[in-house]
A and B are shown apart, each in its own frame.
Chain A
Amino acid sequence: MALASSSLIAHTTKLDLVIRHVLAGLGHGIHAGRERGAGVEFSEYRAYAPGDEWRRVDWKLAARADRYFVREAERDSHVAVWLILDASASMAEPSRSVEGLDKLSYARTQLGCVAAIAQRQGDAFGLVVLSDGKAAFTPAARGPRQLQRVLAQLSKAEARGALPDATTLKASLHFSISPSAVYATSDLLDWPSPLSQALTRLRQMRHDVRVLGLQTQAEIDASFPETQAYRDPEQEEGVFRFGSDLKDGYRRNREAHFADVTAQSRKNDMPLLLAAIEQAPGDVLRRWLRRPGGR
């Protein structure tokens, strides 16, 4: 089943089908938003507090009870979900065991699932695609149309170029004034990077930042074909060779890098999940969305 799901990503071009399939295996109640309950019709009143908007006051009730009550939780939570997709050239790294599967398509599926959940919950959600030195920005909104928009943007994303620089990224994170949940997928190979700085900054502004670091099984096992020369997709020059004599060095360097990444994200109180793209997308999604410290 696990393999079937990840190969489904490789073989299906329709993102919404994959997402439906993945979510069907999850059931409800995995959303970690700030809202209470899932009832669509539920709303409650609470006493007016200074600072509340006047238009939110229920005037009929005020007339009956002679007190101001504010309508609360009417499906317009202030929590916006922001999806950040790293679509730099290195995200094109393919799985060496599952044909046609790569990090970008896996990340697309994960973010699509989060978007679909957010839509079901009635949250606003937006998308930032970081590719080729630019940040493509889809403003946050609610509803099924927005889901189609976001899925289209995700499908359109191609792994190309490098991450945008710090100033470009800073300019595109103007949404950070309102409270939001930020879901970022990346291969985390550039760390520290403009992306890591931006995520840290968002976390320091008390947003809920969750990072999914994607790896391949071949990277974890350090098992690459030795007959070929390799190039770094984000660097023009330099040729690399893989061999059994270099395996230990590769593993050591890689583990040191990710240990560093994990330590920094823990220091910044930023939940980080490292997952291999050969793992079932449903399981990974569940672990990614799990409330830190809960359940």
Chain B
Amino acid sequence: MNLLWWFALPVVLLPIWWHRRKRIENKAALMATARFLPRTEPRQTRVWRWSDPLLLLVRCLLLACLIAWLANPVFPQRGDTVIVAQGTDAAWAEQQAAQAGLAQAERVTLPGAQALGYVHAHEREWTADARLLVLGDLPMPAAKPVFGRQVEVRTQPKAAQVAHHVHIASARAAEWRRMFTALSGPEKIVIDDAPGKATSLIVWDRAGAPPASMKASLWLVTDAAAFPELAKARSLDGLRYADTPRGRVWRNAAWPPRDADSARRLLDDWQQLHVGPRPYTLQSQVFAPSKDANAPAPNGGLRDILLIALAALFVLERSLAHVGRR
């Protein structure tokens, strides 16, 4: 879109035309006895002479600068670059870079989730022969990234140290604890004796209502009497669910789960609906350049310089025009 502004560049011809025409009009010399001559059509002298070359130059520059500012150009100027995700082991990153022959290349450190997006957004800033290496723990994007240049990705999965705090208030605590062992994945379950701020799940397997101060994003409840909201709750496969000021409540009379399958199903539901998907590290691979890559129009770094130049040229042009009028 911005590039369309370059089509406005012929506007520069306007001052050129004006300055040339002035010259033609001033061309005629004065002759007192001109009345004795027949009148003629003013001959267009085809000499390209400018009436005020300095002013003309400044005006052309001013217009060109304005159009360039609107077009917001980007000049590919960056060379070989290694993009390292934050938190990556520095020694490993150096080793990988050296292996790829990019030990001396520019380094950019970014959060792992933004690295590929950054490469996509700034793709046009690199020169045609620049090599790009992305290192670190990069989460797999939902769609396969497409780049207009070759991008090499080397990933190192990082052991996720995610802990979920759980509070169990139950006479059958051992059965509940056994249920959490069915959890597969890198997460760790921490059983809190008393619920705290970090507690995300509370198992309430007791008669009677919990204290009003207890709050968690999800409650697993066996007794419906503890939460009056459950009376009108909707149910799904024997599970009733409702939102209360204390958090979401799931209630199933058959809990705690008796077998591994039902326990896993419950934990999977919890994972999907409350914890969210687990990060999955992208495989190391080389993205081949694609013609379909539609890199967004980048925001050039020249804008500020052009703006300053524009202001300076404007002041200069006004001054010169004023001097010329006097």
Contact = CB atoms under 8 A, between A and B. Distances in A.
Contacts of A238: 34, 39
B35 to A, nearest CB: 6
Contact of A231 (B29, B36, B43): B29
B37 A242 contact: yes
B33 A239 contact: no
A229 B35 contact: no
A201 interface: no
Contacts of A219: 33
A271 B285 CA distance: 110
B33 A189 contact: yes
Nearest to B30: A233
Contact of B37 (A89, A91, A241): A241
A240 B32 contact: no
Given A228-B27, A239-B40, A240-B39, A103 B33 contact: no
A242 B34 CA distance: 9
Nearest to B35: A232
A219 B37 CA distance: 12
A233 B39 contact: no
Interface in B1-45: 27-43, 45
A228 B28 contact: yes
A246 B42 CA distance: 16
Nearest to B24: A229
Given A228-B27, A239-B42, A241-B43, A233 B32 contact: yes
Contact of A91 (B31, B32, B35, B39): B32
Given A229-B43, A239-B42, A103 B37 contact: no
B28 A254 contact: no
Contact of A239 (B32, B35, B39): B39
Interface size class of A (residues with CB under 8 A): 20 to 34
A48 interface: no
A229 B42 contact: yes
B29 A230 contact: yes
A231 B34 contact: yes
Nearest to A255: B36
A53 B39 CA distance: 62
Contacts of B35: 189, 232
Contacts of B45: 229
Contacts, number: 78
B49 to A, nearest CB: 13
A148 to B, nearest CB: 30
A224 B31 CA distance: 9
B37 A240 contact: yes
Nearest to B41: A239
Contact of B36 (A89, A103, A257): A257
Interface in A87-102: 89-93
Nearest to B43: A229
Q: Is the interface of A mostly helix, strand, loop or mixed?
A: mixed
- Which has the most chain A C-beta neighbours within 10 Å: B30, B32, B40? B32
Contacts of A90: 32
A187 interface: yes
A230 B38 contact: no
Interface string A218-253: 010000100011111100001111100010011001
A93 B34 CA distance: 11
A241 B40 contact: yes
Nearest to A249: B38
Nearest to B29: A228
Contacts of B42: 229, 239
A250 B36 contact: yes
A190 B205 CA distance: 122
Given A246-B37, A250-B37, A231 B32 contact: no
Contacts of A91: 32
Contacts of A233: 30-32
A246 B33 CA distance: 13
B274 to A, nearest CB: 89
A241 to B, nearest CB: 4
Contacts of A230: 28-31, 34, 37
Contact of A229 (B29, B33, B36): B29
B139 to A, nearest CB: 78
Contacts of B39: 238-240
Nearest to A241: B40
Contacts of A93: 30-33
A52 to B, nearest CB: 50
A246 B35 CA distance: 12
Contact of B34 (A92, A187, A240, A249): A240
Contacts of A253: 36-37
A182 B11 CA distance: 62
A241 B31 CA distance: 10
Contacts of B37: 230, 240-242, 246, 249-250, 253
Contacts of A103: 32
Given A103-B32, A232-B30, 20 more contacts: A90-B32, A91-B32, A187-B32, A228-B28, A229-B27, A230-B28, A230-B30, A230-B31, A230-B37, A232-B31, A232-B35, A238-B39, A239-B40, A239-B43, A240-B31, A240-B39, A241-B40, A242-B37, A249-B36, A249-B37
**6 nearest interchain CB pairs?**
A93-B32, A90-B32, A253-B36, A230-B31, A229-B28, A239-B42
12 contacts: A189-B33, A228-B29, A229-B29, A229-B42, A231-B34, A239-B42, A240-B40, A241-B40, A242-B37, A249-B36, A253-B36, A253-B37
